[in-house]
Amino acid sequence: MGKMLSNPPGPKRSKFSLPLLRLPGDRLEYLTGLKEQYGDHVYFRVGFEDVHLVSDPELIKQVLVTDHRNFLKGRGLERIKRMLGEGLLTSEK
């Protein structure tokens, strides 16, 4: 599977992780800070969901094109697919 890390770095897990929408301050700044601190592939929890933040162009191509069948999107996106429709954000294909 290319350059993907099996155990990517990220912030330490706490007993519970706040949902991203409840994070104080600028969420984009928070995600940018994670990338700057941990690199191009970061793992963290949002509520009960596992999140992989991928920012390297080669890794993004790997996830979206080369090995797309190996990556499933979270249940949250499945729930909102009815409202958003089939697209880059929600598609599993």
Higher pLDDT residue, 13 or 42? 42
C-alpha torsion angle, residues 73, 77, 78, 84 (rounded to 10) = -130
Which structure tokens are listed for 71? 């990556």
* Tokens representing residue 64 in the block: 């979206």
67-77, pLDDT tens digit by residue?
888 877 777 77
pLDDT of residue 27 exceeding 80, the answer is no
Residue 42: per-residue pLDDT? 92
Give the torsion sign (CA, 66, 71, 73, 78): positive
* 79 vs 58, more confident: 58
Q: Which residue has the higher pLDDT, 60 or 84?
A: 60
- The Cα 46–Cα 65 span in angstroms is 25
User: What is the band of 85 on the pLDDT scale with cuts at 50, 70, 90?
Assistant: confident
